[in-house]
Structure formats: C-alpha cells, structure tokens
Structure 1
C-alpha cells in the first residue's frame, strides 16, 4: 500500500496529522499486511501510541501497551522541572506512573538517581517495568504510597505524581482516544478533579525529606484549588506554588515540604 494511500485513509478517519502518523506507521510495520492492520486500528480510533507500541517523551522512546495511559507531551514540562530540582543521587518516586515515562526520564537525566515508580493498574505496572527497570529503577504495584518500600519514608527528594485531574462530569468531553481506550482510573479526578491530589497531599509529608518536592500536573482553572488543597490537607506541611510553561499548555504545582516541624506560621 503506497504512502499516499495510508495518508488518505488516515485523513478520511479524521487524523489531523495524517502525514506524520503515516510516517510512524510505515516505520513500525513489518510488512504490508501489518501496515494495513495498523492503519485500520488507527482509523478506528485507537491512540497512535497504542498502535505503534511506543511514545516519544523527554527524548526517550517509551513503550506503551494497549489500555495504558499515554504520556502527554505537556507532561514533559513537569518532568523537566523535576529533573532541574533533583541533585545527583536523588531519591525519586513516580506515583500514578502509568507507562513509567517520568521515572525513565529521571533515571536517564539525573546522575545516580534512585527511582521508584508505582501504579494501581496491573497493565501499567507491566509496561512500566519494561521502561524503568532496565534503566535501574524499581516498579511497584498498588495504590499510591501503599506499595512503596518503608525505608523510603522521610527520604524522598522528588515526588512526581501525575494524578488524574479531569472532573467526573467532564470525562464525556474528552477526545474518544482517551475516553474509550485509556483506563477511567487514570482520568477521573472526582467531582472537582482534585480527589486523588488530596490523597497524595495527605500522605506526601510522611514520605518527603525536609525540603523535598512534590510535583503534580493540573488544569489551569484548577490551579488555585490545587494550591489550597495541598496546603490544607497537608496541615501546612507543604508550601505550594504554581508554575506554567511558556506556551501556556501545561500547569504544574510544586509543593515543597517545609523544614523544621513542617507547620505553617
């Protein structure tokens, strides 16, 4: 099947970047039959990353299985800030790790980093192990902090938590690629989109080292609520601030564990 035919089929299916996607599919397919199947799957609405089996993220090629949350390019902003804050040998945790993209980048870019990643979804854990463990990290299966080794308490310098933050009532407004092909648990943040963030904020002070940083992505209109939740739920032990990317496509809250007894004021 000629490339023009691939582009035409993708364009007819509504793929905005049909030419770029055609190049990726052509490169990934082992032959005409596989290419035809891959184009068919993409035209049916599967995320491109699920079709080809990988996503570009932070300069790395991250394996992404079907049914696993696809790492978003905007999240590179969060991970880039985490890398900047991490010193050599930093103890890092990637919660709600999905494919393990954040953990993989931390291992790749922070010299001597000790990285642990965790997710509640078994499919995500299997995928993350292929991305994180060959680079020297460890992946754990369970809910938020529960599966982490106890010896990490009070030692974590960088805690990345790309929690779900879409309000429940807005799930239906998401693109079909996400709504139909990614686990609901990776998208649904509860009534106001901050339910999982509150749970992370409640547990983070116990795991962070004094001066350690929690980094979470959120929606622009949720940022104020996220700051309030992080400060309140942590009992004032976390000092949050909002940072945004220059193009405005990413909003991140960085919450630092206070020194001393951790209490505000």
Structure 2
C-alpha cells in the first residue's frame, strides 16, 4: 500500500495517516513520540520513513519506556519488553534491605539492572553482554546508575571478586527455539540481534549454561530470576533443579509474564 508523502510542514495528523497506512496499530501514540524526538523536519521525515518500512519504534526514536524510565536503545539492540517489568518488580521484592549487589547478565540495553537500581535504595550494579553493540548501549544507561558493564560471554568478563556476593542475578537469557526465530514478528526477527533471541534447539541452551555457574556467584540468600514462556516453564525448572538450585514459578497474568526464581539450597 502506498502512503502519502510528508513535507516539512507536516502536521501530526499527516504523520498519523502515514503511520496508519503502513499498518502501525498505535499510530497516534507513535506519531507523538516520533515528532517529539525529531530535531527538525528533515529528521522527522527520515524517522517516519524508517518506521514505515518496519523498524521498531524504539530503534527509530532511540529509546524505550521501561518501568517508568527512558532507556536508550540503539539499532539492533534488544528492545526491553513490557512483560519483563514483572521480573523487575519480583526482583525488587526479593532484594535485601541493605545495599544489594545486582548483576544483569545478557543485559542488552541494561534496562533490567537500571530499573531494579531505581527501585532500590542502594545498589552495587554490574552488567554483561556478549554483543559489543549492546555493551556500548548499556554503558550509557548503566553509568548514570553508578554501574559497570562488561563485554563477554555470560559470567566470564565479570570481576572474580563478585563470586559468592551477588544478591540478585537477573538473567534475561534468549529463550526462543532456533526453528521458531522465523516465526517472530518482523520487528524482532529482522532488526534485533539474533544472539539476543536464539535460545538453541529447545530455547533453553543459554539458560542451562547460566544455571550451571549461578550457585558459585550467588550470595547466601541470593536469587536468580529469568523469564521464560509458559510452555517452557517445566523444562526450565528441571534445568534449574538439575544444576542443584531450588526453583519456583511466578506469573503475572496482566503482563503475560512467566518468571523462574531460583536460589541455592542452603538459602531455602
């Protein structure tokens, strides 16, 4: 379907019409976000065109709204989903009253760690990701929260001194089975890094690697939280149990979120 052109004096209604014609369901809201982010008419035209051809709105405007915060999101970096706000809320409820040591593993933009830090009084925050683009993005989000971001595979780049000290380990691992990547919406499939989506044959390959090492990093009373799909929950719990951790499933029906909460046996 062709869409109307946009001249430099375009009104919000013209932007809405163009977005709606391109299939954007929330065209009015998106138009307001794009027009607020654009510095001038030329940038507005460019941003609308990028959205029209299918780029995620967050990549177009350069940020995502998450837990009431504005998180910078660069091109190809995983966009934090609203359902993951449930994981952050659960983590905040489980965090110690004292200053908490928090690690955000597979951090992407760093949204989870930053949001949890904002919810707690005092946090020692660390984050890590294997994707250099995600690390560059996360550093801009995490630094204002006083945290550090490391580049590397899972726990490997983290300071060794964190072993046995982590109160809350957030690990939003990729959990889409490889064969299902092509079934994802185009916004994710075509514009987010595959490493942030692909969870291997059954979607749990990265998770198994995380839980295999989690116990040696968790402090007494520390917890690991990760998101999965409802249909994968039983297998995810089995993976956690197989690694010698205790696990329970928590859900949020409003956000359609399924979260696994794990702990060391000596903290049960």
Residue 259 of structure 1 aligns to a residue whose secondary structure is helix
Q: Deviation at 1:248? A: 5.5
Structure 2 unaligned segments of length 5 or more: list them: 1-9
| Distance of 1:8 and 1:257 partners within structure 2 | 54
Measured in 2, the distance between the counterparts of 1:82 and 1:55 equals: 20
Does the 8 Å contact 2:83/2:255 carry over to 1? Answer: no
Other-structure match for 1:44 = 53
Q: How does 1:119-158 map to 2 (within 5 A)?
A: 119-158=129-168
Where 1:74 maps in the other structure, the secondary structure is helix
How far does the alpha carbon of each residue in 1:166-223 deviate from its partner, in whole angstroms, 9 at most, with x for none? 0111000000000000000000001110000000010101101122100000001000
Aligned length: 258
Q: TM-score scaled to structure 1, two decimals?
A: 0.95
Match of 2:184 in 1: 174
Query: 1:94 Cα deviation (Å)?
Result: 0.2
Are 2:76 and 1:62 aligned?
A: no
Counterpart CA distance in 1 for 2:136 and 2:254 is 34
Q: CA RMSD in A?
A: 1.1
TM-score, normalised with respect to structure 2: 0.94
Structure 1 segments (4+ residues) deviating >2 Å: none
1:9 maps to 18
Q: 1:106, 1:115 within 8 Å by CA — same for their partners in 2?
A: no
Contact 2:30/2:57, CA 8 A, preserved across alignment: yes
Structure 1 match to 2:250: 243
Matches of residues 213-232 of structure 1 in structure 2 within 5 Å? 213-232=223-242
| Contact persistence 1:107–1:137 (CA under 8 A) | no
List per-residue Cα deviations over 1:29-71 (Å, max 9, x = no partner): 1121111110000001100000000000011110001111101
Give 1:100's aligned residue: 110
